[in-house]
Amino acid sequence: MVTETVRANRRLCLLDELPPCIGPKLRAFPNRRPKIQWLQQLERSPGSELGSQGYVFRVKIDSRIYALKVFKFFKPSDAKYLLSPVRAKKVSDEIAAFHVDPFYAECRAYGRIQKQEEAKGLKSRIAANCYGFLCLQKKHELQLAEMGIDLWDLPEEDEYRQQAEGSPIRAILKEYIEEETEFNSQNCKEMLKKLRRLNRWGVVHRDIQAGNYKNGLLIDLGSAWTEPHCIMKAVPKDVADGWRQTDMSQFDEMLKEKGIGKDMHILPNLEYHKKLRSWKP
């Protein structure tokens, strides 16, 4: 039996842009039914870990190599975990999912990046190129199952899983980058410049770490919050402002781990931000 939740998710996958809410959107990959050759599961995304966003593969489509991120299914009600029960009631599960679900988070972040880069004619990229979202076919689902890929973190008896099981598998196609990032003072200054630009565009990455960079470019935006964002709007302004400093704090910590950046002035109000991170709604 096909549930209404499954039907709704299938309708979403037929749209030309996602997500269908106010704010930036990502276009669908032009070939809606591609023949995918699965070449390698990339080690940097150990999808077997509980709580991970999904799995990343090196794939070939029409003789071209891509990085394909396949997303796990997401429970909409889990999107409001940072809000108190009172504040959570003011945000619908649907809007929260469109803003927080890692698949939609990447759609919104890439939608904003692409629009800004096109409008400003920028050649200096912030992130790996993104070629659009894709909903996988049944044959792809069977191929993933043969690889031992499980896209559910929820137990079988979970009510939402019972309603949503059978929904299309969501994925995003990106540029495949093999070159690792060389962390030196010059490269990091350029990376910091790009990260500040991303923040000015209203995107907070929220997961800045060495493993999320390839050749100096961000390769994963599944944790990004792109404004307008329902969670940031639901909390006090000073808390939202503190969250907007998350990237700078994490970039500073990344440089310390790499043993560089002593002369780079990143976050003057770092101690203030650390205090805000302890805020409870």
Check pLDDT > 70 for residue 122.
yes
The verdict on residue 94 lying in a domain is yes
The verdict on residue 177 lying in a domain is yes
Number of domains in the chain: 1
The verdict on residue 211 lying in a domain is yes
Other beta carbons less than 10 A from residue 26's beta carbon: 24
Check pLDDT > 90 for residue 278.
no
148 Rama sector, left if φ>0, alpha if ψ -120 to 50, beta otherwise: left
The verdict on residue 281 lying in a domain is no
Domain containing 225 equals 4-276
Mean pLDDT of 205-231: 96
Check pLDDT > 50 for residue 227.
yes
DSSP characters for 185-234?
HHHHHHHHHHHHHHHHTTEE-----GGGEETTEE---TT-EESS-HHHHH
Structure confidence at residue 279 as a pLDDT band (50, 70, 90) = very low
Structure confidence at residue 272 as a pLDDT band (50, 70, 90) = very low
Check pLDDT > 90 for residue 266.
no
Mean pLDDT of 210-220: 96
Distance CA 104, CA 26 (A): 9
Among candidates 97, 73, 113, which has minimal Cα distance to 231?
97
Check pLDDT > 60 for residue 280.
no
Residue pair 244/199 in contact (Cβ under 8 Å)? The answer is: yes
- DSSP code for 8: H
The verdict on residue 212 lying in a domain is yes
Check pLDDT > 70 for residue 226.
yes
pTM over 0.85: yes
- Tell me what pLDDT residue 269 has: 52
Q: Within a 13 Å sphere around the CA of 15, how many CA atoms are in the beta-carbon half?
A: 16
The verdict on residue 176 lying in a domain is yes
- Tell me what pLDDT residue 142 has: 93
Paired strand residues for 70: 55, 171
User: In terms of C-beta density within 10 A (0-12 exposed, 13-18 middle, 19 or more buried), how is residue 219 classed?
Assistant: buried
The verdict on residue 181 lying in a domain is yes
- DSSP code for 279: -
- Tell me what pLDDT residue 111 has: 98
Comparing 243 with 280, the larger pLDDT belongs to 243
Average pLDDT across the chain, whole number = 90
